Structure formats: C-alpha cells, structure tokens
Amino acid sequence: MDLTYTPEQQAFRAEVRAWLTAHVPAQPLEHFDATREGFEAHRQWEKTLKSGDWGMVTWPVEYGGRGLDLIQWLIFEEEYYRAGAPGRVNQNGIFLLGPTLIEFGTHEQKQRFLPSMASGEEIWAQAWSEPQAGSDLAGVRATCVQDGDDYVLNGHKIWSSRAVFADWAFGLFRTPGTERHKGLSLIFFPLDAPGVTVNAIKKINGHVGFAEIFLENVRVPAFNRLGDEGQGWHICMATAGFERGLMLRSPARYQVAAKKLAELWTAHKNSADPALEADVVRAHMNADAYALNIYQTASRLMAGAKIGPEASTNKIFWSELDIHLTQTALAILGPVAELTHDAPDAAPVDWIDDYIFALAGPIYAGSNEIQRNIIAERMLGLPR
C-alpha cells in the first residue's frame, strides 16, 4: 500500500491543471438540459477538450482517447472539478456506452462511434427505460426485427436523459416472442431517423432533461447492434456496473461541494445553528470516504480485479451523501435557501438547485431500493 502520488502522477496533475486554467470558460455555461443554446455551448466545450486531447482520457489512443489508467483518470477528474469546468454533456456516451463499446464492440464499431463520441461531434442519449420497465429493465417491450442487413425498431422509450437535443441513442430491444432477459439486443439509432419522435419531459426543475421516444418502423443497419442478438442483457449489466461502480460520479464532484459547504459554514457560523457544524464535518467525511473507496477500487481493478456487485454500494453512498450535503447547506442558509439564482438576494452558490438535483440520485441508474436488493442477494447471499 502506497498512498502517495508518483512524480509522474504529480507531473500529470500539473499538466491537467495548466491546460484547464488556460481553457475553462470564465463564465459558467448555461445548463445543457435548459436550452438548445446551453446544449450547443457544451458541445463546443467538448470540442475544446478534444483539441487538448482531454475528451476521454481512459480510452485507447486509436479511438480518440489518451490511454490513461484509472488513477490518472481520478487525478484528471479532481483537477476538472477543482477548476469548475463545465458538466459533461456527453456523459452517457463517454462514461456508459464508451466503456461498453470498448469491451464488446468490433474494431469497426469502435472506429465508427468512439472518436466522434470523444470529440462531442455526436452526443448520446440513453434509451433504456420504458413506461412498463424502469428498475425492472428485463421487462422492455420495444422490438427489433431483422430485415436483410437492417433492423426495424418499434416501441416506446421514456426517461431518456439528453434525448431532446442529442444526436444518437442506445437502447434495449426485444426479438419478438422472447421473454425477460432472453432475446434482448443493444442497438444504436440516430434520434433524427425517420420514424423517431422525441417528446420533451420537463424535470422537477423545469429543464427538458428527459424525453419519451416513440419508434415507428425505424430502420437502422445491423451494424448498429452491439454484441450478438440476444446478448443485450449481459452487455447492459456490464454498462450498469460502469455506471454505478466508478465512472458516473467521480468523487471530486462531492469533494468540491464539501469544500464549498465548509466555506459556507465559515461565512455563516456566527448566525447559523451551531449544531450544523457536525453535519458540515460529516459531509467532508463522506466525500473523503467516497474518494478513498474509489481509489481503492481503482487500485484493485488496475491489479487485475473485476468490479462486482459491491458497485451497488457506491451508488447508494454518493446519492445519500449528496442529499445530506445539500440539505446541510440549505439549513445553514436559512431563509435565503429557497431563493433561486436569479433572485437579488440569492446565495452565490445555487444550493437549492443542487439539492433538487440530488433528489434524483436515489432514483436514476437503478433505484436505491433495487441496489439494496442487489447487495442483499449478490453480496450477502440472501434469497430472492
């Protein structure tokens, strides 16, 4: 065990810091789920990142990445959040689909999809859930029927993050006549293909971050199927592992938030309830614990281990720490807490927006109830 950075890792941190200092926009961008303009400004930022070769640091160089290891990825993320760089509009592509494609895609598929994902030229939405299949993803009903060299897709997807403005989506489709986990395939489709209708769904904060997607005889080449027909469930479980386990929420996000919370406390401690200091300290502890846990997982994976059902513990931990952290900020702010960022007396940090966003944490990427079932059944061995 050696919990110090090597000189190479320190030099890498300095390199990332210098580049971000020179390139991170001085003014925060409008949120990518708020308007088309905000979305396109973030696409532009993805292109800027790519110009410095920072689009997707862990991917192989030949597919538009930088070929870095997981510890370097963590250092990159730490510097990224420290610099206050814009959110990643293409996170569905780069953190979910990207690693899945690298593991299961053919060379041709990787060449076709990965570089344009890393550069922001093509921004991806996920199209997993359906009205009757949320946490019970094996219940999807949307169908795929092979016709010559194409697939014909039909069905109704919902809760598709980014789909309103994105270019492409990946979803699970069923070969007609199959049931549950069998007969599912992971297929990509362009969101502007004939037969695709995208209807925005406003989120709790008014942003159009979700959509429902109707597919009516949408024709895509069979090339767009990842893995074999019927292998979709297996592939999706791997994708979910990336999402819950490591890549979806890097610890730096919460460490920055915990730092801001400590600053908020310092500024308000003469007027706020003294008992809140314990919550501020707790938020810092939680963010630190999450970082240590991820460093430990990254070290294990680099030593050859595979990520297992313990990935489900991460998702519960970060989603709960996020709610506790933002709730503590609201408690410190008192009456100012309810003001939105455009109010004259609003706090400099939009904690209410962060709190509202945190409320989604226990729901998306598989609800925390489902994660607890996974932990109980696959880690602890309790009966189904």
Which one of residues 33, 46, 78, 212 is an interface residue with another protein (CB under 8 A)?
78
Burial state string for 53-81 with b = 16 or more CB within 10 A and e = fewer than 16? ebbbbbbeeebbbbebebbbbbbbbbbbb
Per annotation, catalytic residue among 243, 277, 310, 369: 243
CB of 108 to another protein, least distance (A): 36
Residues 81-110 that bind another protein (CB under 8 A): 81-82
Longest distance between any two alpha carbons in the chain, whole Å = 72
Q: How far is the CB of 346 from another protein (least distance, A)?
A: 23
> Based on CB atoms, which residue is closest to another protein, 136 or 369?
369
Task: Please identify, using beta-carbon distances, which residue of 207 and 284 lies nearer to another protein.
Answer: 284
Tell me whether residue 91 or residue 143 sits nearer to another protein (CB atom).
Answer: 91
Q: How far is the CB of 279 from another protein (least distance, A)?
A: 11
Exactly one of 33, 46, 79, 322 binds another protein (CB under 8 A); that residue is 79
Instruction: Determine the Cα–Cα distance for residues 165 and 33; give it in Å rounded to an integer.
Output: 8
Q: State which of positions 312-331 bind another protein (CB under 8 A).
A: 313, 316-317
Residue 243 annotated in active site: yes
Whole-number Å distance between alpha carbons of 239 and 146: 24
Among residues 181 and 269, whose Cβ is nearest to another protein?
A: 269
Shortest reach from residue 154's CB to another protein, in Å:
34
Residue (of 202, 219, 236) closest to 103 by Cα position: 236
The C-alpha angle with vertex 317 and arms to 315 and 321, in degrees rounded to 5, equals 120
CA angle 63, 69, 72 (to 5 degrees): 110
- Least distance to another protein from the beta carbon of 139, Å? 18
Of 172, 246, 258, 264, which lies in the binding site for another protein, with binding defined by CB under 8 A? 258
Report CA dihedral (260, 41, 57, 23) to the nearest 10 degrees: -70
Q: Which two tokens stand for residue 297?
A: 């997982």
- Kindly identify the residues of this chain, within the stretch 33-72, that bind another protein according to CB under 8 A: 71
CB of 5 to another protein, least distance (A): 6
The stretch near another protein (CB under 8 A) out of 158-166, 175-183, 213-221, 249-257 is 249-257
Query: 10 CB contacts (<8 Å, ≥6 apart)?
Result: none
Torsions phi, psi of 297, nearest 5? -65, -45
For the CA atoms of the chain, what is the radius of gyration? Answer: 21
Q: Which is nearer to another protein, 68 or 262 (CB)?
A: 262
SS (H, E, C) 308-331: CCCHHHHHHHHHHHHHHHHHHHHH
CB of 119 to another protein, least distance (A): 26
* 349 sits near another protein (criterion: CB under 8 A): no
Q: Decide: is 354 part of the binding site for another protein (CB under 8 A).
A: no
Give the footprint of another protein on residues 270-309 (CB under 8 A).
277-278, 280-281, 284-286, 288-293, 295-296, 298-300, 303
| DSSP conformation class of 348 | S
- DSSP 3-state of 181: coil
Do the strands 124-127 and 168-174 form a parallel or antiparallel pair, or are they unpaired? parallel
Rounded Cα distance, 222 and 70, in Å: 33
Of 45-53, 73-81, 135-143, 183-191, the segment contacting another protein by CB under 8 A is: 73-81
Q: Strand 196-201 and strand 150-157: pairing?
A: unpaired
Among the listed residues 168, 196, 8, the one whose alpha carbon sits nearest the alpha carbon of residue 98: 168
Residue 363 binding another protein, by CB under 8 A: no
Nearer to another protein, 192 or 270 (CB): 270
User: Judged by CB, which is closer to another protein: 292, or 343?
Assistant: 292
Q: Which residues bind another protein (CB under 8 A)?
A: 1-6, 9, 13, 71, 77-79, 81-82, 251-252, 255-256, 258-259, 262, 266, 277-278, 280-281, 284-286, 288-293, 295-296, 298-300, 303, 310, 313, 316-317, 369, 371-373, 375-377, 379-384
Catalytic residues: 243
